[in-house]
Amino acid sequence: MGVRRWTLFKNEVIEKANGSVVVVNKMLLQTMIALLSEWRLPATQWPMVLPLFQGARNHRLSNRLGGHASATAFGGFDATPPLSGIVHPTTKEVRDVDWFDKSRIKHVQDLRTR
């Protein structure tokens, strides 16, 4: 049936029309299994792990969105790397890890100039 003409979405990029829902669901399942296994959590704890996947997926750059992340295209805010902060388990203090991303970018630039 497709999407009606007056919507902002086009059939060629709607997940149901091009099979990307299947791809995302497969990615989600593999990621959840891996994280639950790595952290030795029972399968019933999947709601605790889901936000990690959602954040990483929504902030990943997409060719279909002109090199922007879904978070930028739909929410209007800058995409962040999957790891942008670490919360101390006891004190709940949040440590920023921007230095890590800046270090990674510098390292890649150094490699490209060689």
Digit-coded pLDDT (tens) for 56-85: 788 888 888 888 888 888 888 887 766 667
61 phi and psi angles, rounded to 5 deg = -70, 145
Give the model's pLDDT for residue 87. Answer: 73
Q: How far apart are CA 82 and CA 80, in angstroms?
A: 6
Ramachandran quadrant class, 67 (left: phi over 0; alpha: psi -120 to 50; beta: rest) = left
Res. 110 pLDDT band, cuts 50 70 90: confident
Q: Which residue has the higher pLDDT, 14 or 39?
A: 39
Q: How far apart are CA 82 and CA 31, in angstroms?
A: 14
Give the model's pLDDT for residue 3. Answer: 43
- Kind and range of the H or E element at 78? none
Res. 4 pLDDT band, cuts 50 70 90: very low
Give the model's pLDDT for residue 9. Answer: 54
Asked if 54 and 70 touch (Cβ cutoff 8 Å), the reply is no
Q: What is the mean pLDDT of the chain?
A: 76
